[in-house]
Amino acid sequence: MAQQSDTKDINKSHYHKEQDETSQYLSFTLGNEEYGVDILSVQEIRGWEPVSRIPNVPFYEKGVVNLRGSIVPIIDLREKLRIKFTDYTSLTVVVVLQTIDNEKIRTMGVVVDSVSDVITINKAEVQNAPDFGTKVNNEFINGLISVDERMVILLNVDKLLKLEEIEPLS
């Protein structure tokens, strides 16, 4: 994390004033789509490893793993975003993210197909996500941006990782 913020500082000094409005995103793929999360919320990137299942939780919460002594939940991003589930392979990657929920820092892992790049974007170029109606849930989406003619969907990590309340079984 510290290193990353350093790089950001260096970047700032290199660019002009208007680039104060830039930030860096880690981009990854889910199927053919490319997504990005704020790089400052990324703690580390790990390979997929089997999880311990947790009973009676939403299907996209895959389970928990032991991350150097702390118990960290793993969320399948494909399933969370309702994209067709594919089997995990040796290339499947877990991005460990930090979020703030009720002033408490949580660490969680999200399963993605692969990570691709670190992109620097100008906030002015971010386009708001269009309203897809009920077809697509866009509450986790911060906006869309075009990088080398590819569309990258920027995700809001805090909203994405906010756990839904489980209704008690009744």
Partner 1 sequence: MSIDMSQFHQVFFEECFEGLEAMESGLLDLNTGDIDAEVINTIFRGAHSIKGGSGTFGFNEVADFTHIMETLLDQMRDGRRPVTQPAVDVLLSSVDCLRAMLTAIQSDDKVDTATVVIYKTALEIELNGSAKQSIPLESAVEEDDIETSDNEAEATEQGWSIAFSPYLDLLKTGNDPVRLFRELADLGEYTVAVNTRDIPDFDDLDPEECNLSWTLTVLGESTLEDINEIFSWVEGDCELDIQALIKKEAKATPSVKKDKPESSIVPVIDSLESLPASLDVVQRPSNTIPSSNTDVAGEVLVERRSGVSSSIRVDTAKIDALINIVGEVVITQSMLGLVGENFSMDQLAQLKRGLAQLERHTRDMQQSVMNIRMLPINFVFSRFPRLVHDISAKLNKKIDLKLVGESTEVDKAVVELINDPLVHLIRNSLDHGIEMPADRIAAGKPEVGTIELKAYHRGGHIVIEIIDDGRGLDKNKLISKAIEKGLINENSILNDKQAFELIFMPGLSTAESVTDISGRGVGMDVVRKNIQALGGNIEILSELGKGTIISIHLPLTLAIIDGQSVAVGEETYIVPLVSIIESVNITEDIINKVAGKGETFKLRNQYIPIIRMHEIFNVQPKDKLRTNEGVIVVVERQGVLCGLFVDELLGPHQVVVKSLEANYRRIEGVSGATILGDGSVALILDVPGLVRLSSNRLSSTNPSL
- The region of 83-91, 101-109, 126-134, 144-152 touching partner 1 under the rule CB under 8 A is 101-109
Count of alpha carbons within 13 angstroms of residue 142, beta-carbon side: 18
Cβ-contact 76, 60 below 8 angstroms: yes
Interface residue with partner 1 among 69, 90, 124, 131 (CB under 8 A) is 69
Closest to 61 measured CA to CA, from 78, 39, 37: 78
- Does position 159 interact with partner 1 (CB under 8 A)? The reply is no
Closest to 43 measured CA to CA, from 110, 115, 107: 107
Q: Which is nearer to partner 1, 71 or 136 (CB)?
A: 71
Q: Which is nearer to partner 1, 104 or 135 (CB)?
A: 104
Closest to 47 measured CA to CA, from 114, 118, 119: 114
Task: Name the minimum Å distance from CB 66 to partner 1.
Answer: 5
Distance CA 95, CA 57 (A): 21
Task: Name the minimum Å distance from CB 153 to partner 1.
Answer: 25
Q: How far apart are the first and last CA of the chain?
A: 44
Q: Which is nearer to partner 1, 74 or 112 (CB)?
A: 74
- Does position 65 interact with partner 1 (CB under 8 A)? The reply is yes
- Does position 1 interact with partner 1 (CB under 8 A)? The reply is no
Site string for partner 1, 25-64 (x = CB under 8 A): -------------------------xxxxxxxx-----xx
Q: What share of residues in the chain are helix, strand, coil (percent, to 5)?
A: 20, 45, 35
Residues of this chain that bind partner 1 (CB under 8 A): 50-57, 63-66, 69-73, 106-108, 163, 166, 168-170
